[in-house]
Chains A and B, each alone.
Chain A
Amino acid sequence: MNRTECMRKAVILLEDGFCQEGLPFGAGGEIIAEVVFNTSMAGYQEILTDPSYKGQMVCMTYPLIGNYGVNLQDAESRKVFSEGFIIKEKSRISSNWRAEDSLEDYLKKNNIVAIENVDTRAITRRLRTTGSMKGIISTLDFNISSLRQKLNSFPSIVGRDLVKEVIADKPYEWGPGFKKDPASEYCVAVIDCGVKHSILNNLREQFRKVVVVPANLGLSEVLKFDPQGIVFSNGPGDPQAVSYAVDLAREIVEQIKTGRLKAAVMGICLGHQILGLALGGKTYKLKFGHHGGNHPVKDLRTGRIDITVQNHNFCIDPKSLNPDIEITHINLYDNTPEGMRHKKLPVFGVQFHPEAGPGPFDARYIFGEFREKVKQVCLREKT
């Protein structure tokens, strides 16, 4: 070990006072964000690139990270959005035939501050008992009271509009040259709140045309594409902070209700919460959120249980919904709502991630259901 290596260290401090020295991993520097844990045992690259993690840093509960490196195909967006990264042990080798880069270099290139060799289980247990907390990782400042000061003065994630920080500035079409799905000639517009590539790919398998419209552009921009399906995507943070998206959803639902717009609407994760607000419901923040790939969700209509992917801190309060809205899915861990539908309109949403990425493919049937909904709307119009 040479002298410069000896000097290398990183430190993490949480709001509740938990502090541990570790090793720097990724870019040097300092970062403050809300800390969330993720229990997925693989899929770190998808997690890092999920725009929903904007404003948060992820602590991986699985201790051995980076084993298979990173590759271009598995990214969920154009760059890393997780603000920082906390792990137990990084792999010194990328062992996979698809690996194009090591995780460490990837983090450096994306300028992400990360720390390894810390007790990630201890951090997770704290988040579980205390609830979500802010944390700071630093490779520059090892003075605890100074770190604490920085941490305390940092704003909370509640009420912050993180969506505008992750979305594109203009509409674009997703995968125009993609293989054609003969089953569907419809066009779907994705209202981008921080959409993952897996959602777009899954939609592209069901629809002829998929266009992505930034959530802050307004209804006319959406209608330009004459979509038969509209999807409110996943995204970061508090749904109440994204009032423009909620307004847009309200307008769309209103137009469908009055017959001016013939389209089916689906919401995923943040999109689900946005729909909930647009339909008159309320949302609240969960104690430490759901982040992982192993949550059982029951489809109340069929009794079917799927192992689903979860990544959310906010949740719809089922009691706040009006009688036109029916809860279709619940989480068997804590009975929180995981899906809802409008009883009269072709409008529904799911809180979990049917697209996986990372996680099990069990819930992908949701995309098929959406296509069926779109088809019904269009057929009804024809007859």
Chain B
Amino acid sequence: MPKREDIKSILIVGSGPIIISQACEFDYSGTQACRVLKEEGYKIILLNSNPATIMTDPEIADRTYIEPITVDSLEKIIRKEKPDALLPTLGGQTALNTAFEASKQGVFSRYNVELIGANSKAIARAEDRRLFKETMERAGIPVPHSRIVYSLEEARQALKYIGLPCVIRPAFTLGGTGGGIAFNSREFEEIMELGLTQSLISEVLIEEAVLGWKEFELEVMRDKNDNVVIVCSIENFDPMGVHTGDSITVAPIQTLTDKEYQKMRSLAIKAIRAIGVETGGANVQFALNPQNGRIVIIEINPRVSRSSALASKATGFPIAKIAARLAVGYTLDEIPNDITKETPASFEPAVDYCVVKIPRWVFEKFPEADPVLTTSMKSVGEVMAIGRTFKEALQKGIRGLEIGRSGLESVFFGKKQRLFSEEVKAEIINKISAPNAQRIFYIGDAFRIGLSVEDVHSYSKIDPWFLENIKQIVDFEKKIKETRGLDFKSLRKAKEMGFSDRYLAQILRTTEDKIFGLRQKHQVSVVYKLVDTCAAEFEAKTPYYYSTYEKEDEFRPSSARKIIILGGGPNRIGQGIEFDYCCVHAAFACREEGRQVIMVNCNPETVSTDYDISDKLYFEPITLEDVLNIVRKERPYGVILQFGGQTPLNLALGLEKAGVNILGTKACSIDRAEDREKFKKLLDELNLKQSPNATVVNFYEARKAAGRIGYPVMVRPSYVLGGRAMEIVYDEGTLERYIKEAILASGSQPILIDKFLEDAIEVDVDCLGDGKNYVIGGILEHIEEAGIHSGDSAMCLPSYSLSGAMLNKIRQATYSLARELSIKGLMNIQYAVKNGELFILEVNPRASRTVPFVSKAIGKPLAKLATKVMLGRTLPELGFNKETIPFYVSVKESVFPFNRFPGIDIILGPEMKSTGEVMGIDEDFGTAYLKSQIAAGQILPKQGRVFISVKDRDKRRVIFIAKKLVDLGFEILATEGTAKVLSGSGIKVAALKKVAQGRPNILDYIKDRKVGLIINTPSGRIPRIDEVKIRSEAIVYNIPCVTTIAGAQATVTAIEILKTSGINVKAIQDYHRDLRNLQDV
């Protein structure tokens, strides 16, 4: 049956900002869907608030709405565009929830829009825990014992039946927010209360805890003729109790016999039919009792998911692309397998390698957060590795994580503690028993201190098969340590087991170079094998490679002029989708310029690791060894490092030493910008100002420097990413503590001290150069004052408060820096403006996090232009001659993972904490800001109470804000000090007790939702405990909480617009068209 002709246009909903549990995988699936459906001749309308996505590029869909993902926007878009159908299964839980809500409100029936891919009944059966349970039981699929409750009272009753420990799962939440495992009745009450609050429909499931059971996932696809295939089977390394997003997972399943696997497969097929997923993909999760094989179904996601992105990359079967085709009426046998071209998609991929996925956590960013992993996901990214054995894939995965480990290293390596002490043994046992981010390394240590596979299994419940494999790694490590050398045989064996040169060097106390030399001597070299969906049964046409140490090399040499692009590795805070966006653009640009492009990356969530994006894909860790291996085979014309964030840049030196041609700005220029002393000299030469600063190595020097510069100062270790360990220090005592800790953590690395420019306005500038011509991409004014990491700050383009003279000063400074550094490609400069003076904070001669946002705001693809420049084009040739200043306003707002880490303080500072961003565009600042807030998930109130509690310095500045709020009809609550100042200015205000002073206080108002907005600026260095409590409670109850005065001002403006006019939607293509028309005039 061919595709449907009765529908002409399809609305696709994206997943919005990157948050924990919803990352680039939905850009990957959404982009695939848009492209494939456009190819089929449908008109594609897209809604997504995230500017850092490829899918929101103006050429991907026909009509692109970068607007908040709400029912309101959806309805407005539908009214305008009149789509025939809506495809809700490619934008994660966000798209599914929004579509479900819109369907409930009758939007689709009102405008005669058909839901394709999944209907609202199927969504309800999968998402509503009660319906799910009933559906499964009716179909004869076993489920864990459970009860569904709607109140705390019902919950207590249910507990009597289920017993402790039990799992608590709120319905309709993202990635298990609000859920958890209760081991005692107090925990039960706590989690229950939270769960009831966070569920969209106050519904919570209490379930028999199948802790310690084995966990499995199957990726299932179904077409409209009821043909069903399993694309991939996945076994979780971590047993039940850890969210699958936080589990190390392995594909395919390793420890089930065929009989057990087939039973599970049949149940999955039965389940997807019972749920009623008519076409497309679904993810089915099972738990299995390892004592007797009892299987129960845990959940179904009737949509593409993080696991389906992983399954696609793990097998070469593009689930989202095929799901999109199935949704418009094709059947599996009508769709060709992309990789073999000759066989159809109606088959089940057979793999002949082992795939390991390891999550990437950022607990270092949230030191107060509970590091134990539970059913609520906490990781922000992941890495995937392919090897011929589990051992090889695991060690490749570990080094791909970029957590400073080049293999299964000991946690105690380089530490003072002795490995064989009782204290260490206790720590190891503790850390392998409770799941945590370091567990895999502690397991290695458990074997190092002599625990057996049985011991480790009894503590961790991890399957002995995995443990045995890890033990083999540790045993081998011990063996080469003891023999103190590597002959051909042992070196070959080491490489087959996935040991990196660097880790071998560490074990043998030598250098990575020496190990490489040894490998050359013994001719132990890497080979590349293909990911081909069929275990070599058919010829693969798509060059998708992984490295291994085997007999046969499937590398296909070519004499084309090749460009290698290095991706950014796993998502983390500070390096995420923005950089993948740039890498993908670089690939597009290379192809447009007729070059063969090779992508190297190890992040399975990304668009860059879609084999369609480049001419060749290497799914490999971004380490010097792995990259050089590829370079030596491919012999590329050049390598592009500029776009993948810090990860590839860290390899610059090593690559250059190996004679690799690095495209773009010259390394000496990069050095001039990054080396403090050289940079200082550069600024002096250009007559540019820096805030006073110093580099110190001990407290004595630090004290002297700080005295000279004057407090407050910003301190940080040199060479940091995303503001790690940065702090604003107000006095000598704190400085002493900081220096001591820093020296303890990083040894003798120098520490940087800068004058902290309080209340300055921060500005980000992205600039493009071809070595001769330089053009500013955009000048972005931060909304929060300086001191907040630029990745966390809201920003506005064009500038909304700076004078024309200051903007010109910024332009001049930018151009003179660009010229002096002969920038070839992109450059990002951060400025601070204080009292009419311009200070340079930082110069980064590479693509920055703001590139996709600026590109969308000005309608010019900066990363693509930068790539073409690197390939030898000039800016005039590319028609990029002058700075674009749009007539409309674009606001970028950051999105934070605070709701994942209950109890932590949400105050922003120099350490980056946000996971993602949204964009609000409109004709004026207020509306654009309002849209950005809605898109970021803030529910701004139209009436009710506002609580204000600010530090002394902000008290005068908050008066105007409070006045405005009263004019808008709000009631003001404030703590004593703030109340005094406000009533002194004639503002009606009710004073509240401080938390410590008794009740009722603001916490009671929050819990009863009697307050709609909180304005609370931190009172100083060490925030008072009740402030932290207020802010974190606000997060729990989803009450917007503004922590800066500038933010509060913008929020009040936004509320005013919300109350008066509301928002309208406009496609990005229309903004760009109007912009072009204006420029032409």
Contact = CB atoms under 8 A, between A and B. Distances in A.
A361 B264 CA distance: 11
A292 B537 contact: yes
Contacts of B347: 294-296, 307, 332-333
A96 B354 contact: no
Contact of B465 (A73, A93, A98, A359): A93
Nearest to B527: A119
A50 interface: no
B442 interface: no
A29 interface: no
Nearest to A288: B537
Interface in A315-368: 332-333, 356-361
B552 A361 contact: no
Contacts of B254: 64, 67
Contact of B352 (A97, A121, A361): A121
B346 A93 contact: no
Interface in B280-294: 290-293
B1069 interface: no
A67 to B, nearest CB: 5
B551 A128 contact: no
A95 B389 contact: no
Contacts of A292: 350, 535, 537
A88 B333 contact: no
B213 to A, nearest CB: 12
Contacts of B256: 42, 68, 96
A305 B227 contact: yes
B258 A42 contact: yes
A41 B347 CA distance: 14
B258 A358 contact: yes
A122 interface: yes
B266 A125 contact: no
Contacts of A357: 258
Nearest to A46: B258
A296 B350 contact: no
Size category of the binding interface on chain B:
35 or more
A39 B464 contact: no
Contacts of A332: 333, 343-344, 346-347
A41 B354 CA distance: 11
B351 A62 contact: yes
Interface in A20-47: 20, 37, 39-43, 45-46
Interface in B333-363: 333, 343-344, 346-354
B352 A61 contact: yes
B352 A356 contact: no
A287 to B, nearest CB: 11
Interface in B312-334: 331-333
Contacts of B472: 92
A40 B258 CA distance: 9
For the residues of A in contact with B, the DSSP-based class is loop
B900 interface: no
Contacts of A3: none
Interface in A48-93: 61-64, 67-68, 71, 73-74, 88-89, 91-93
Contacts of B226: 304
B229 interface: yes
Interface in A205-235: none
Contacts of B225: 303-305
Contacts of B421: none
Nearest to B253: A42
B550 interface: yes
Size category of the binding interface on chain A:
35 or more
Contacts of A333: 343, 347, 538
A124 B535 CA distance: 8
Given A119-B551, A357-B258, A124 B537 contact: yes
B257 interface: yes
A298 interface: yes
B262 interface: yes
B551 A296 contact: no
Contacts of B537: 37, 39, 61, 124, 128, 292
B388 interface: yes
B552 A122 contact: yes
Interface string B891-924: 0000000000000000000000000000000000
Contacts of A68: 255-257, 465
A128 B532 CA distance: 14
A37 B262 CA distance: 21
A312 to B, nearest CB: 14
A63 B346 contact: no
A67 B352 contact: no
Nearest to B251: A41
A257 to B, nearest CB: 36
Contacts of A92: 468, 472
B552 A64 contact: no
Nearest to A98: B257
Nearest to A306: B227
A118 interface: yes
B227 A304 contact: yes
Interface in B468-495: 468, 472
B351 A41 contact: yes
B464 A95 contact: yes
A290 B917 CA distance: 50
B92 interface: no
B352 A124 contact: yes
Contacts of B139: none
B476 to A, nearest CB: 11
B453 interface: yes
Contacts of B464: 93, 95
B354 A63 contact: yes
Contact of B551 (A89, A118, A295): A118
Given A61-B350, A332-B346, A333-B347, A88 B389 contact: yes
A39 B344 contact: no
A71 B260 CA distance: 13
B58 interface: no
Interface string A144-177: 0000000000000000000000000000000000
Contacts of B636: none
A120 interface: yes
A293 B262 CA distance: 11
Contacts of B343: 332-333
Interface in B349-389: 349-354, 388-389
A361 B259 CA distance: 10
B457 to A, nearest CB: 9
Nearest to B265: A360
Contacts of B529: 121
A73 B233 CA distance: 23
Contacts of B550: 119, 121-122
Contact of B390 (A64, A128, A307, A360): A64
A42 B263 CA distance: 13
A74 B293 CA distance: 15
Nearest to A125: B536
Nearest to A68: B257
A152 B266 CA distance: 45
B875 to A, nearest CB: 48
Contacts of A20: 551
B80 to A, nearest CB: 40
Given A305-B225, A361-B266, 7 more contacts: A39-B535, A95-B463, A119-B550, A120-B352, A125-B554, A294-B348, A333-B343
Interface of B: 225-227, 229-230, 233, 252-262, 265-266, 290-293, 331-333, 343-344, 346-354, 388-390, 453, 463-465, 468, 472, 529, 534-539, 550-552, 554
Interface of A: 20, 37, 39-43, 45-46, 61-64, 67-68, 71, 73-74, 88-89, 91-93, 95-98, 118-122, 124-125, 128, 292-296, 298, 303-305, 307, 332-333, 356-361
Closest 4 CB pairs of A and B: A43-B258, A358-B258, A122-B552, A61-B535
9 contacts: A42-B252, A68-B255, A119-B551, A121-B529, A293-B348, A294-B347, A304-B226, A305-B333, A332-B344
